[in-house]
Structure 1
Amino acid sequence: VGPAPAKPPLIAGAGPTAAPIADDVDRAEDPRIARALAQATKVLDAGVAVLVTGETGVGKEVFTRRLHAASRRREGPLVIVNCAALPENLIESELFGYEEGAFTGARRQGAVGRIREAAGGTLMLDEIGDMPLALQTRLLRVLEDRNVQPLGGGRAVRVDFQLVCATHCDLAALAEAGRFRSDLMFRIDGYEARLPSLRERQDKEALIQRVFGDVGGRDKRLVLGDDALDTLWRHAWPGNVRELVNVLRTLVALADAGTEVGRDALPARLLAPPASMPHASAAMPPSAPAAPLADVAQQAIEQALRAAAGNVARAAAQLGVHRSTIYRHLRRASRSC
């Protein structure tokens, strides 16, 4: 067996993404993510720019890493620039490079800039919606003629790269408000790969279990209890996969090896009922006798199962609960018979 192929060089604006998140897109069971990755690879290989959209924390950078690795330029560098993380007075020199003495504090030998570093590979402009307007004009010119001129008046250099941009913003709304160039928006939005939020993902249960194992649960021989899994599944996850990973890392760190992690180990913010949940007193007229909650839940589950012809997954979706909730009630019902 020959040696494993070398990984393509990576030049990123931030450190490597943690393994559990980095593996997620590659192992995702949500068909929408797989379809977006396959289609984005085709158009990127055809020289069309890809725009990755979705809420903060859904894994846009991770998706781009997988996209680069699947593309025909996988042997080239992947250069990631976070437009929101760079000060406005530095982003121009960071992107386009500069000549010696171009400004106070410039390196003696100058710098080639991130765009030229991406030659032969992929340039990712993360949070493109935060790019200053003046810089958008320069970027548009580069995308049109593929020539980069460094600050300080150096000669223009031709550069060949494939472009992936990412944003959580509505670029059309920004363009309407005059904060984003519409011609640049049309240039970078050759194909939009929209990533679903965690609450929308069809593989949420498998993802929770997988990440729980990846962040140390497997090594510590931990079991995620049904009640904990049900609560995690129900949570809205405004921070998406990034939030999930942080919560599960904390759970694993606090748990003793070989134990079951129950609902009581979860952060308090995950245990609070949704703000929109009606008060218990409003759910039933005061004159009605209060039935035991377990009986009410059992009756609702039985009705849902009958309506779904015994399909647990469909019944769970109808009730808006995790499948483990139904299985747990079924086990309790069988023990009481």
Structure 2
Amino acid sequence: MDKHSGAPRIARGLLPRAAVLAAALASCCLPALARDDNDLNGCSEARGFGHLATGDSRVRTNVQRALKVANRDIPVMLLGETGTGKEAFAKAVHDCSSRHKQPFVALNCAAIPESLIESELFGYRDGAFTGARAKGARGKIVQSDQGTLFLDEIGDMPLVLQSRLLRVLAEGEVQPLGAEQPIPVKLHIICATHQNLPTLVEEGRFREDLYYRLNGAVFILPPLREREDIGEVIDRVLAEEIHAMGREGLRLAPETREALMRHGWPGNIRQLRHAMRYACAICDSNLLHTAHFPPDLFFGPRLAGPRPLREDIPAPASPPPVALLPDSNLPPLKEKDLRLRERMLETLRRNQWQVTVSAQELGMSRATFYRKLSRLNIVPPNRRDF
């Protein structure tokens, strides 16, 4: 043991140079990480969660629980609003586990058309369908063998594929499209959604048996506006964007930081990162002011804190007309669908018919929001007179 640094002395010539450097880094850096946060110590914790902000008590509890199940054969379900960092948390669970050297494969079930999800997830053999590659393709399940498969927005997975995924989990094998024999796989599965899966089960849009198969260890990620460490998250995101753009010396004006901390952040950390990236890109000085952020960021009801009562909010002079499809002979909507329709209309009007913002506010993905627009017969107005 070196009496000056406290690091273990390594015999010269016994290890390759790279191994010596790695051992030195481990002995010097990891204790520092442990001293920074006594609740998160040890090599696996630093490797997986060391780069994430964990000052919030709920996040710390999630991390401590995740470390206990990471190396167990327990599926993980991550719940939270869009943009709360579910994929980052899933990657951290993978990195802190014994599978960290194996693949981490992610698939967003809401971002891929239903006609392509099956081939993306299960893969296919050559000639399986028109347009297939000559040599076929390995699906995400096979790619994640021995590692971790992360299925984001699992609530948007089509029912027919849910049954196939259930078989993979139950049998430990996958059969690509056009293949005659299944392929054995061993993987850890992590799913994420912002939707209420029990409600989807009741409505028949999600298989109950798959729900219980995936609902092993459940983690709820808090929205950014509710986090106790929102200031730390803002500082970390700013530091990362400054480093990426080579803008060392750039900092937030005190009033700007206060405004960011009070903001409602319907898009959570993802929205914060995009806003910070924009501000860093256009700022010509070393001090970021609110004027450097996207123009619509600090307006409207998205600011957190005291808000006017609903009756105090002035209504539009003439709300935009919402037409029904001209030739729609649709059956009457159920009461719950009517309530959802009214909520969607109200949110769209308030956000000037911006679909992305409205979907985030209601906790839906864009794909789900568009499907509900069609199913509930909501047609945008041709003029924006609100």
Alignment partner of 1:246: what SS? Answer: helix
Distance (Å, rounded) in 2 between the aligned partners of 1:84 and 1:271: 29
Q: CA deviation at 1:278?
A: 6.3
Matched, 1:2 2:18: yes
What is residue 62 of structure 1 aligned with on the other side? 88
Matched, 1:40 2:40: no
Distance (Å, rounded) in 1 between the aligned partners of 2:50 and 2:173: 36
One-letter amino acid matched to 1:2: A
What is residue 277 of structure 1 aligned with on the other side? 308
One-letter amino acid matched to 2:308: M
What is residue 101 of structure 2 aligned with on the other side? 75
Distance (Å, rounded) in 1 between the aligned partners of 2:70 and 2:233: 27
Alignment partner of 2:189: what SS? Answer: strand
One-letter amino acid matched to 2:299: A
Alignment partner of 1:271: what SS? Answer: coil
What is residue 196 of structure 1 aligned with on the other side? 222
What is residue 35 of structure 2 aligned with on the other side? none
2:249 aligned residue (212, 221, 237):
221
8 A contact 1:146–1:158 mirrored in 2: yes
Matched, 1:133 2:167: no
Q: CA deviation at 1:25?
A: 5.9
Matched, 1:248 2:276: yes
Q: CA deviation at 1:38?
A: 3.0
Percentage of pairs with the same residue = 43
Q: TM-score, normalised by structure 1?
A: 0.72
One-letter amino acid matched to 1:43: V
Question: Runs of 5+ in structure 1 lacking a partner?
Answer: 6-21, 283-337
Q: CA deviation at 1:140?
A: 0.5
What is residue 13 of structure 1 aligned with on the other side? none
Alignment partner of 1:172: what SS? Answer: helix
Q: CA deviation at 1:24?
A: 8.7
Once superposed, what is the RMSD of the aligned Cα atoms? Answer: 2.5
Distance (Å, rounded) in 2 between the aligned partners of 1:134 and 1:143: 15
Distance (Å, rounded) in 1 between the aligned partners of 2:288 and 2:179: 61
One-letter amino acid matched to 1:224: L
Distance (Å, rounded) in 2 between the aligned partners of 1:176 and 1:228: 45
What is residue 177 of structure 1 aligned with on the other side? 203
8 A contact 1:136–1:181 mirrored in 2: yes
1:24-71 Cα shifts (integer Å, max 9, x gaps): 962432232232133224223110000111100111111111111001
2:261 aligned residue (210, 214, 233):
233
Q: CA deviation at 1:156?
A: 1.2
Distance (Å, rounded) in 2 between the aligned partners of 1:220 and 1:174: 48
Distance (Å, rounded) in 1 between the aligned partners of 2:106 and 2:169: 17
Question: Runs of 5+ in structure 2 lacking a partner?
Answer: 1-16, 23-47, 314-386
Alignment partner of 1:71: what SS? Answer: coil
Distance (Å, rounded) in 2 between the aligned partners of 1:149 and 1:266: 49
Matched, 1:262 2:278: no
How has the CA–CA distance of structure 1 residues 113 and 80 changed in structure 2, closer, same or farther, with 3 Å as cutoff? same
8 A contact 2:49–2:63 mirrored in 1: no
Distance (Å, rounded) in 2 between the aligned partners of 1:278 and 1:90: 46
Distance (Å, rounded) in 1 between the aligned partners of 2:97 and 2:83: 23
Distance (Å, rounded) in 2 between the aligned partners of 1:153 and 1:114: 16
Tell me whether 28-37 or 234-243 shows the greater mean CA deviation. 28-37
How has the CA–CA distance of structure 1 residues 158 and 234 changed in structure 2, closer, same or farther, with 3 Å as cutoff? same
8 A contact 1:25–1:63 mirrored in 2: no
